[in-house]
Chain A
Amino acid sequence: MTRLENPAVAGHTSSAAHRPARTLTGALAVMVFVHGHTAELRVSDLADLSLEQLANIEVTSVSRRAERLADAPASIYVITNEDIRRSGVTSLPEALRLAPNLEVARTSASGYAITARGFNSTTANKLLVLIDGRSVYTPLFSGVFWDAQDVMLEDVERIEVISGPGGTLWGANAMNGVINVITRQAQATQGTVVNVGGGNLESGGSFRYGGRVAADGHYRVYGKFFDRENTERANGTEVPDAWHKGQIGFRADWGGASRSFTLQGDAYTGKLDQTQPGKTTIDGMNLLGRWFQRLAGGSDIRVQTYLDHTERDVPGTFREELDIFDLEFQQALPRAASHRILWGGGYRYARDRVQNSAVLAFLPADRNLDWANLFVQDEIRISETVEFTAGIKFERNDYTGWETLPSLRLAWKPYAYQLLWTALSRAVRAPSRLDRDLFVPGNPPFVLAGGPDFRSEIANILEVGYRGQPLSAVSFSITAFYHDYDHLRSLEPAPGGTCVSLAAPGNTCVLGNLIEGTSKGVEAWGAYQVMRAWRLSGGVVFLDLDLERKPGSLDPTGPVALGNDPAYQWQLRSSHNLTDKHELDILVRSIGALPGPDVPAYTAVDVRLGWRLIRDVELSLTLQNLFDSSHPEFGAPATRSEYQRGVFLKLSWRI
Chain B
Amino acid sequence: MTRVESPMTRWPRLAAVLMLHAAFLAFLSGWPRADARAAEDTETLEQRVKAAYLYKFAGYIEWPAKSFSRSDTPVTIGVMGNELLAAELIQAVTGRTVNDRVVTVKRLKAGDSLAGIHVLFIGKTESARLNQLAQSAQPRSILTVTESDGALAHGSVINFVLNDGRVRFEIALDSAEKSGLKLSSRLLAVAQEVRTGMP
> Which A residues fall within an 8 A CB radius of B?
1-2, 11, 38-39, 41-44, 46-47, 49, 51-52, 54-61, 63-66, 81, 185, 187-191, 193, 212, 215-216, 255-260, 469, 471-475, 528-534, 574, 576, 578-579, 584, 586, 588, 593, 595, 598, 600-601, 603, 605, 626-627, 631, 654
Q: Is the CB of B7 within 8 A of A472?
A: no
Q: Are B48 and A42 in contact, CB atoms less than 8 angstroms apart?
A: yes
B-side contacts of A64, CB under 8 Å = 39, 42
A66 touches B43 (CB 8 A): yes
By a CB distance below 8 angstroms, the chain A residues around B110 are: none
Contact with A along B42-54 (1 / 0, CB 8 A): 1101101101110
Task: Please state if A473 and B42 are interface contacts (CB–CB under 8 Å).
Answer: no
B102 contacts across to A, CB distance below 8 A: none
B150 within 8 A of partner (CB): yes
- Identify the B interface with A (CB < 8 A): 1-5, 7, 10, 13-14, 17-18, 21, 24-25, 28-29, 32-43, 45-46, 48-49, 51-53, 55-56, 60, 88-89, 91-94, 96, 127, 148-154, 161-168, 186-187, 189-190, 192-193, 195, 199
CA distance A593 to B167 in the complex (A): 47
With A58-B166, A190-B192, A586-B21 as contacts: A474 and B39 at CB distance below 8 Å:
yes
Contact B52 A47 (CB under 8 A): yes
- Whether the pair A258, B150 counts as a contact (CB closer than 8 A) is yes
B149–A187 touching, CB < 8 Å = yes
Q: Which residues of the other chain, B, contact A533 by a CB distance below 8 angstroms? A: 29
Neighbouring A residues of B195 by C-beta, 8 Å: 215-216
Contact A255:B55 (CB < 8 A) given known A191-B164, A529-B39, A595-B1: no
Q: Which residues of A contact B152 (CB under 8 A)?
A: 216, 256
Say yes or no: A529 contacts B52, CB within 8 Å: no
Contact B151 A256 (CB under 8 A): yes
**C-alpha spacing A648/B2, complex, angstroms:** 32
The binding surface of chain B is classed by DSSP as helix
Residues of B within 8 A of A605 (CB): 14, 17
The residue on B at minimum CB distance from A579 is B28
Find out whether the CB atom of B190 lies under 8 angstroms from the CB atom of A586. no
The contact of B162 among A2, A59, A66, by CB within 8 Å, is: A59
Q: How far is the CA of A396 from the CA of B64 in the complex (A)?
A: 65
- Chain B residues with CB below 8 A from A579, complex form: 28
Determine the distance from Cα of A54 to Cα of B189 in the docked complex, in whole angstroms: 14
Nearest CB of chain B from residue A248's CB, rounded to whole Å: 20
Distance between B190 CB and nearest chain A CB, rounded to angstroms: 4
A52: chain B residues at CB < 8 Å are 190
Which residue of chain B has the shortest Cβ distance to A577 in the bound complex? B29
The 10 closest A-B pairs by CB, nearest first: A256-B150, A46-B52, A59-B46, A60-B165, A256-B149, A529-B39, A529-B38, A51-B190, A593-B1, A532-B38
B39 touches A473 (CB 8 A): yes
